[in-house]
A and B are shown apart, each in its own frame.
Chain A
Amino acid sequence: MRAMILKEFRELRRDRRTMAMIIVFPILLLIIFGYAANFDVSNIPTAALGPQAESISQQAPDLFDVTIIDPSGTAENAQALLRDGEAQVAVATDTQPPVAFVDGSNLFTAQAAAGALGHLGDKITVEVLYNPDLITAWVLVPALTGLILMFIGTVVTAIGLVSEREHGTLEQLAVMPLSPSTVILGKIIPYFIIASVDMVIVTVLGILLFSVPFNGSVVLLTVGAAIFLFVVLGVGVLISTVSESTGQAIQMALFFLVPQILLSGMIFPLAAIPWGIRWISYFLPLTYYTMISQGIMLRGAGLDSLWQPFLVLATMAVLVFTAAVLRFRRDLTPRRSRAETQVAEGAAA
């Protein structure tokens, strides 16, 4: 028994990734959950429009952070601000009583806002847009499509590529008359197709089973999903290049996946995460895909209001995918260096 326990500890000590998983992962989870797992929204970006905009901004409770004051604005402008994600609550005072439009696509923010505004009684009319009944599934399904794309794009792709290395067939591919780009694309395209089909199935099922609305452009969401898929496929390829086994690939993928689920705004609202942790969210691709999918499906937002997440995702796609392809290409072509010239000379001789 003692020998067995010692053996296990010795093996663990040398398996640095598992050790990191055992020690770092619980600490990471504790910190993230401790700080980020917060449904209580304390700061809601708010717009005040119409003739009483100034007075609304002065009288608004602390919960509402009035960042936009437009005395000439109308109810129509207020709805546009919500659609474009520039505010989560917009109070239009061009009607009597004033109307507070609340963005229902930000579930917990909307719940907090509706609760606070409800205390005002008849003084204000509250109208929740995009998700009037504040149904959780309506908010989760768009984000869930991203999670599925990420799972297939990262975990399944990494496992698929690592298995070639594990079984020794990567070397065989390297000596076959296949260009590195053929091998890389040949390995990635099937996962791209599978992830796309999965995403369509989940979206359609979400619409059919949970009546999730699809108010925006299908083409725009398809483009957004494709860009996001390039990012996560790139991460999958990168993970495969630094993993020797399937187990290692899964470990690394977990390190990548878990923070995305917790910090992307998919479950916990970004506004409720303190800045000490929230900055991490802005390095995570799922954060931007969630903004895009919720914006398009629930609010019917267009590219004019979603260009920023699109731009960030596209930049991530170029950087990550290029890095992944370069690393994978290196694994496939160790012969493309000094040796090649010598081989050509030798063969000619």
Chain B
Amino acid sequence: MTFGVENLTVRFGSVTALRDVTVDIPAGRVTAIVGGDGAGKTTLLRALAGLVEPDSGNVRRPDVDQLGYLPTGAGSWKDLTVEENVAFVGGAYGLTGAPLAERADPILERAGLAGAKDRLAGRLSGGMRTKLGFSLAMLHTPDLMILDEPTTGVDPVSRIELWRMISETVANGAAVVMATTYMDEAERAASVVLLVGGRVLLSGRPDDLIGAMPGAITVTESPTDRSLAWRVGPVFHEWLPSGTPGGVDTVQPDLEDTCIVAELQSRSLTAGDRP
């Protein structure tokens, strides 16, 4: 089954947060939503979760008991222990006693939380708390997992562990949609959606998006057009919209380059002064 949204528009007063957005979220895959601050990532996920009322368009999501949701920076009750969090969320989905333990124990084991069952969620490190939130969201084996920037502010080791859990969830057939600001994470997803200003700018498999990037990228210490360049470490990447002029070395673009180029291209099309 494919979940997602079709021609979704969401307005908050006079501000249009999402404009005619269509995103497919197929089962057994990770769909990454990328974009800058205010791009509409969280609004899209909240609309998918049923927390925001669309002004127009369709939302395809499973029943509420087949939905897992991990909001930003939360996902657990800080004054409850890990075990009490599990008992509460399990109870809400009708899981108690032995069936709950059967389901929760392996999840907590994989999350590295088996030894922290008696610790208050509020006393866990950021990474551990996010893993607890993820564990709670997948406790009832949902068909659709909605994760809002689950790895933001999480240490690299916890990020790897979280991704292992996401991969396992997907391998079990669930559809996972996650907002992220990390492009290296987005590249691991089966498909990527780039949102800019509430619109979908790019959508597709990461390799396809990178392959379809117009023009070329060159690495330079002194860009010829600052408006088309961005800093990557000590050097600049510069987009050459017309391709490679003779004598200029180019590099293979990555997803970050591709997304930046898409945004630059969008701006120039809006301004009407560039291709």
Chain A residues close to B by CB (< 8 Å) = 167-169, 171-172, 174-178, 334-335, 337-340, 342-343, 345-347, 349
Contacts and interface: CB of A to CB of B under 8 A. Distances in A.
Contacts of B103: none
Contacts of A349: 60
Interface stretch (B70-78, B210-218, B238-246): B70-78
Main secondary structure of the interface of A (DSSP, over half): helix
Nearest to B69: A175
B65 A172 contact: no
Contact of A342 (B59, B75, B89, B93): B59
25 contacts: A167-B77, A167-B78, A168-B73, A169-B74, A169-B77, A171-B49, A171-B51, A171-B69, A174-B51, A175-B50, A175-B51, A175-B69, A176-B89, A177-B64, A177-B93, A178-B92, A335-B53, A339-B54, A342-B54, A343-B59, A343-B61, A345-B58, A346-B58, A347-B60, A347-B62
Contacts of A345: 58
B242 to A, nearest CB: 42
B269 interface: no
A338 B60 contact: no
B89 A168 contact: no
A176 B64 contact: yes
B6 interface: yes
Interface of B: 6, 46-47, 49-54, 57-65, 67, 69, 71-78, 89, 92-93
Given A167-B74, A175-B67, A347 B61 contact: yes
Contacts of B58: 342-343, 345-346
Contact of B57 (A171, A174, A342, A347): A342
A167 B65 CA distance: 22
Given A345-B58, A346-B59, A338 B92 contact: no
A208 to B, nearest CB: 34
B8 to A, nearest CB: 9
A343 B49 CA distance: 11
B50 A339 contact: yes
Contacts of A343: 50, 58-61
Nearest to B72: A168
Contacts of B71: 168, 171-172
B53 A338 contact: yes
B49 to A, nearest CB: 5
B92 A339 contact: no
Contacts of A342: 54, 57-59
A347 B52 CA distance: 17
Contacts of A346: 6, 58-61
A345 B60 CA distance: 8
A173 B73 CA distance: 15
B5 to A, nearest CB: 8
A345 B73 CA distance: 32
Most buried by A among B61, B65, B78: B61
Nearest to A176: B92
